[in-house]
Structure 1
Amino acid sequence: MVAAAFNVVPLTPEHWPALEELFGPQGPCYGCWCNHYRMPPKLRKPLLGEGARRLFEQRVHDGPAPGVLAFAGEVAVGWLQVGPRAHVPEWNNPRRASTPLPDAPAEDERNWAASCFFVRKGFRGKGVTGALLDGAIGFARRSGAQLLEAAPMANETKRSSEGLYVGPESVFRRAGFVEVACHKPGRPLLRLVL
């Protein structure tokens, strides 16, 4: 399958059932439901599972769209959390690979982050990640973002599919992202100026 085979749209309330089906009853990443970077562990961990699902559903309902969803026909096959850095405060933590630089402060809502991918089993390695990133770039531009950053796994880093929730470096490089810092070995901070 090639990226053109996927339709990527912002996650709005009408797409919630498709996302819920994609994530399954337990939710991705041990029941996180994409709250990992949105709140500190002491608040997030007690919510894992159903509490996290409800919180994320409310976020989608209230808007703005917290990311993009990829479809193959009518079936959701991938998700990318993307939006202003200010919406993912834990992603901006000074101990992370994704620590913001002074020229792109997290408080500026025009500075965006592509923080978490999820791709349906059976569709991994088929271009979904690239399609999601392309869709996210368009979504960020239409939403007035001035730049988009990510802290993916370096290509030479040994990784598991679980560890790839941040995405592989090669996908970002192909989309034109350039390295602006490296706070942690194997996790470059990449940026695309929009």
Structure 2
Amino acid sequence: MAKSPAIVCKPLTPGRWDDFCAVMGPNGGYCGCWCMYWRAPRADFAGPARKRLKNRMRAIVEKGPPPGIIAYRGGEPVGWTQVGPRGATQNWNGARRLSAPLDTADADDPAVWGVTCFVVPRAHRGTGVATALLAGAVDYARRKKARALEACPVETRPVEAGEKANPVSIFHGVASMFARAGFREIARRRDDRPLMRLDLSK
């Protein structure tokens, strides 16, 4: 049996916009947010404003720095994760959020980053894409001199045989994946949502 090509992760630069769109699909990812859920005001997700979310994300990509990374397998884009300084995703960074920083000073510290969401098209789920994306996010944050990377994933219950997890409910990533990557829990504001942190300063 032929071995599947290795997954390679690359920053989302303007030249990779079409690859980002391929991952998001015609509906713009989960619930059509174009990965603006943690960036745009809630009012922008209702009515005509929702149609502008794609263009708003493109403007962010064009301006830079890259708001996340794309995973490729054999040259094909197969996944996406948003990763960057906490302050870039103001909704995720908010004081009342489950993902709010434990230390309020971290909210505006450009060296404290967050990995906020994952998108993996149906055809590529269960093939290691999310794990590769997280590893790529850690590597990217380290190369950009981040001192810490945080996440607020979902702690899932055991999946029954033949059952599939709802991708919308786990777009934050799953806690076990982060634990395997070396993240440790630093807070828990809801039973199923630990705030986790990876120290990159060592």
TM-score class, shorter-chain normalisation, is over 0.9
* Structure 2: distance between partners of 1:142 and 1:99: 24
Cα distance in 2 for partners of 1:29, 1:126 equals 19
2:165 pairs with 1:164: no
**Alpha-carbon offset, residue 44 of structure 1:** 4.1
Residue identity matched to 1:183:
R
Q: Where does structure 2 lack aligned partners over 5 or more consecutive residues?
A: 160-164
Contact 1:35–1:44 under 8 Å retained in 2: no
Is 1:179 the counterpart of 2:185 in the alignment?
A: yes
8 Å CA contact 1:98–1:189 kept in 2: the answer is: yes
Q: Which ranges in structure 1 are unaligned for 5 or more consecutive residues?
A: none
Tell me how far 1:13 sits from its aligned partner: 0.8
Letter in 2 for 1:124: R
Aligned length: 193
The separation in 1 between residues aligned to 2:118 and 2:4, in whole angstroms, is 15
Distance 2:3 2:120 in 1: 14
1:122 positional shift: 1.5
State how 1:102-181 maps to structure 2 within 5 Å.
102=103, 105-156=106-157, 160-181=166-187
Cα displacement (A) at 1:96: 2.0
TM-score, normalization by structure 2: 0.89
Identity fraction in percent: 39
Moved more, 8-17 or 21-30: 21-30
| Amino acid in the other structure paired with 2:111 | R
Question: 2:67 maps to what in 1?
Answer: 66
Aligned CA distance change for structure 1 residues 157 and 60 (closer, same or farther; 3 Å): farther
Residues 104, 111 of structure 1: 8 Å contact kept: no
- Normalization by structure 1: what TM-score? 0.93
Measured in 2, the distance between the counterparts of 1:15 and 1:173 equals: 30
Question: Does the CA contact (< 8 Å) of 1:152 and 1:167 recur in 2?
Answer: yes
Q: Greater CA radius of gyration, 1 or 2?
A: 2
Superposition deviation, residue 164 in structure 1: 0.9
